Structures are given as structure tokens and as C-alpha cells.
Amino acid sequence: MAYVKNLFDKNFIEYASYVIRDRAIPDIEDGLKPVQRRIMHTLFEMDDGRFQKVATVVGRCMKYHPHGDASIGGALVVLANRDYFIEKQGNFGNIYTGDGASAPRYIECRVNPLAKDFLYNPNITNYVPSYDGRSKEPTVFRAKLPLVLLTGAEGIAVGMNTKIPTYNIKEVIEAEKKCLNGEKFHLYPDFQTGGLIDVSNFKDGSGKIITRAKLDLSDEKKIVITELAYPSNSNTLINSIENAAKNGKVKISAIHDFTAKDVNIELKLPRGVYAKDVVDSLYAYTECEQSVTCNMLVIKDNMPTQMTATEIIEYHAKQLQAILKDELEFEKNALTDKLHLRTLERIFVEERIYKSIETQKTQEAVEKAVRNGFVPHAAELVRPISAEDIEHLLSIPIRRISLYDMSKNKAEVTSINKRLKEINKTLKNLVGYAIEYLDSIEEKLKDAKFDTKRKTTVKKFSATDAKEIAKRDIPLRYDDKGYLGTQVSGGSEVLRVSEFDKIICMRKNGMFTAMDVPNKVFIDKGAWFIGFADKEEVSKILFTVIFRDPETKIASIKRTRIPTWILNRDYFLAPDGMEVLHVDMRENFSFELKYAKKPRVQILSEKFNAGDFEEKGLKTLGVRLSARECEGVSVEGENKEDATLFDEAEELK
């Protein structure tokens, strides 16, 4: 058993780690999950400037992603609809209506040139073998923008989840520039579907945001929905409105959906109903208003890490400088190698070192002659000559040596030296260079006519509580059989309630219970009290209960209040096992006890005043009224044989 447990624990930990890092949570460096990263890697490999069938891309990607074509196709469509990574051709679905994309064999795509700029640089990217060892794939891309904020992410792993909202690309770039300059910045989500958001409870990437659809109320007899509340689409929104109308929550006579390129949902109102009367109900009962909880969890340094939007911007500001530095260093090394080779070639030809190898008989002698020929010119070399350098010189064709252009070589060397000076200067001011790069991205977005305008409007409003706008228009009936509820036929109406109300009822035996408004429930004939379960109001009522011991027939009185309760739990107003004779909710009243007839006893009744007795706690046992056996009680002002009182319930309406 111990072996099985250890094996299970080991396998579970490995599985959990795999799901967290390789499936569900995006990496902070490039903002991508593994399947998305493999799709982009495949597109970069296939890029020839022309559109490719999505089915072809999916097939090629399967050599990197071991989980089948369905997950690849779905992830590709999601990436394409983000607009930053992939140019699309054909039906990739509609984010407004929720319609799916066409089959992969019918649609085409190619990599967005902008993505190659900020995501692709194989010279400084680390590659590892793919799952079958036949190919290589990147561990992460060296992204120059905080893509995790631009694309957003949702994922459920083992014991954790992530939900990152999308942000506006222009605002993200501006925030990163401010971060590089040491200035303060603020970022708020921006959704493709537009709408309104309240960020009062949003804490820099975590917390809760309230989203609302944008409504056109210019015509008082109709409502036009022009923008959606994230994460709704027109289909789910219309379904929610239809369900609310069917349940009587929203008064709508007709719904017309004209959504295509833009959102346009028209709600016709019935006669006598105006737009201003319906707005709150739409927000309360439909997807016109939604609450979105955000949780910014990313993979950082190979571990799941909770971060804020500000921390991600700060991380990427440093990462951008590091990437640009690596690119400059790579270019500098490449130019240095090129300068070294051009210097070797010039000396090799200009000093006719190639002549010294004509008399040599062996390879070793040839290489030695070349090396010795460069000894007098060692000061001119960028670095010491190597075996690879000698091999390069010996591979130069005779035709090229005879036609070697010294002027061209000199111009090229001058150009290389000029560029090396620029690189050295730039390396000393990486912050300025990073800001220049971000400025260039903004210009490219303008040139590509990319829509960088903010779509979602930040506005302060409170979430609409359905309980607050619910009307008490449902009759709560109580019949002579002892049934109480909104679906009880016949009987008398005791209250008008809403679906969110709680009620409290006191049965004939003195037991009281707080509950949701019932459809139909048996509570006993002749209930003492039925009212709203409002603790503030109920605690104002002074309950007087007159009861007797069923064995001794001795009567007692108890005056108390009900300050609190737990829903759907039974409580007794009188001590357990006592027989309740009367319950009253008046501050003061008179009552008369009827005593049992006994020989030589002429006084068979006695009057009392309830106000003469003190108020006690709910758990007290009460005060004995008399030592004589009680046959019943008669209460002043009581017209019914059963003392069922609803007048206090009426007051609580």
C-alpha cells in the first residue's frame, strides 16, 4: 500500500505540474500557452508571405503539439481573433454573435508582420527538442510587448486558475514608456465587445469588475443594445432576456437581432411600458450586466506566480531592455566577425599572402604559410587568426582574388565600423532605445490602420441588485387547511411578496420558523403570526405567549422578543412540551383564565393584565400565573375562537 501511495503521489504531482506549466497558465515572457506558442512557431516556419490553409498549419503544428488537431484548431482561431498575431482570410467566427469559425479546410491564415517584429527573433531564442525529438521548438519567445495583458487568458489548472482581462495595446505601450521613464501609470481592462465597466473593486489585475452593455434609450418605446457586457455575446444575451421575459422579470414585446459587424439588438416594449422603466430590470435579470472576477496568475521563472498589471509592466520594461541588449550584442558580434573577415581578405589579397602557398606541398605547410603571412599585420586584425579563418581564406576562388575590389572593401569596413559605434552608443542608453522601439511599434500600428481606440468605457456605477428592484406583487395565501404559499389556491391573502423575500411564521404550537417564500407548505391550521423575516422589524414586536403544562394544567405567561434566527431552523416561543393557549403581539391587553370546576370552589376565573409582567429573554421559562388548573383563556379584543393574528404582518408590509 505504501508503494502504491508513493506512486500515486509522485504521478499526481507530475500531472499537476504539467497541467499548470504546459497546458493552462500562460508564461509571463510571451503571454502564450504552449499550444499557442507552437502555433506561432509553425507559422513562422511556414511564412512565405502567402496565406496558408488553417488545416495545413494544424497538420504541421501536430509535430510539436501532442494533443491532437482539435485543440490546435480552436487555439488558432482564438489567436487569430486577437488580431495581433495572425492575419485571417475567411470565416473565423464572430466575437459579437458567438458564431463559430468554419472548418479549418475552408479558412486561411498567415503570420502578421507585426508579430514577427515584437515576437520572433530566432538568434536570441532558446530552442529545445520537440516531444518526439525530431524537431526543435522555442521554450518561450522573447516578446518585446507584455502580450499577457494584450491577449488576456483563462485557464483552470490543478488547485489554481487564471483569468486575465484584456487591455488596450496603445494604453499598454504608453504605460510601459512611463515605466521606463520612472513615471506613475494606471491600467484598466479593455474588451473587444465594448460596453461599460466599473473598476471600483478592481485591484490592478485582481478583484472584481462590473461590466454593462451600452444601451441606446433615445426612443422611449424601444431599447437598442449597441455594445455588449463582457463576456456575453448576442446569442447568450438574447437568451437571458427571453428567459427573464418568460419569468415576468422584464417586460419585452419583441426582440430583433441585427448584429453583424457591429452589435445591434432592438428590444420592443409593450404598450404602457417605457424604456426608463425596463433598464434596471435588464441589468438585474439579464446579461446586460455581469460581474467578472479576475485573477492574474502567470508562469514566471517556471513557477506559477500571482502578479499585478503594474508588476507585469515593470517586468516587461526590464525584459524589453534585456531583449534589445541581446539583439544589439548579437549584431555587434556578427559585425565584428564580418569586419575581421573583411580585414583578413584585404590583407590576404593586398599583401599577396596567397602567393606563399603556391610552393607548399602539404595542408599543414599551406596553413602555416598563411598564418606566418599575417604575423607582420597582427596589429590590424580585430582578433587573432583561427583555423576557421584560414579555411575561409583558402576557399576564396582565384577569380574573386583577381577581381577583388579594394574600394568596395574599404567602404564596407567603414560602414561596419560606423554601425559598431552606433551600437556601442545605444548600449549605453538602453532606456532611450527601448522608448524609441515602442514609438516605432505605435507608428507601425498606425501604418497598418490598426484600431487602437479604447472600446470599453470606464464609468462608475453600482451593480444592480435584483433584490432591491424586485416588486412585492406576488400574493402569499393561507387557506383553512393550513397550507401557506404563492401557489395556494383559495384561502386568504396574508402578504404580497417578491421572490427574494424571507418570511417568518408562528405555528399553533408556538414553533416559529424563518424561510424563503414557499410555493406551498403546510404550517398547521390557525397560525399565530405570518410576516416578513426582517430582523430589525420583527425584533420590535413584543410577543406575549400564554401556555400551560399539559400534565398539571398550570398556566404561565412569557413576554419576549425574537432578536435573531437561522433560516429554516425551528424555534419554540414557549418552553418545550408546553401547550400554547394564546400568542399576542400587543404591548398591553387584558385576559382572563378559566379555572377547572372543583367542589366548594366558587371563583372559576381570574383577570390579568399583560402589561403587569416584565419582558424576559427568549430562552426563559416564563412566569406562573396561578397554582390552579387552567381550562382555557379568554383575551380582551379577540373575536375569533382561534387567536390567529395577522395585523402585525400587515404592519410589516
DSSP string spanning 407-427? HHHHHHHHHHHHHHHHHHHHH
Cα separation, 336 vs 424, in Å, equals 12
Q: What are the residues whose beta carbons fall under 8 Å from the beta carbon of 289, sequence distance 6 or more?
A: 210, 211, 212, 213, 229, 282, 283, 463, 464
Cα separation, 625 vs 593, in Å, equals 9
Sign of CA dihedral 96, 100, 106, 108: positive
Contact 441, 328 (CB under 8 A): no
Helix, strand, coil percentages in the chain from 3-state DSSP, rounded to 5: 35, 25, 40
The set of cell numbers assigned to 321 is 531592455
Cα dist from 398 to 323, 366, 373, whole Å: 42, 16, 18
- Catalytic site includes residue 283: no
Per the residue annotation, which of 106, 188, 315, 437 is the catalytic one? 106
Q: What are the residues whose beta carbons fall under 8 Å from the beta carbon of 87, sequence distance 6 or more?
A: 51, 109, 110, 111, 112
Contact 256, 266 (CB under 8 A): yes
Cell numbers 489567436 correspond to what residue?
Answer: 79
Contact 237, 288 (CB under 8 A): yes
Cα separation, 248 vs 243, in Å, equals 9
10 Å Cβ neighbour count for 495?
23
Closest CA to 138 of 75, 18, 14, 45: 45
Cα dist from 611 to 573, 587, 590, 608, 615, whole Å: 18, 7, 8, 9, 9
Active site residues: 106
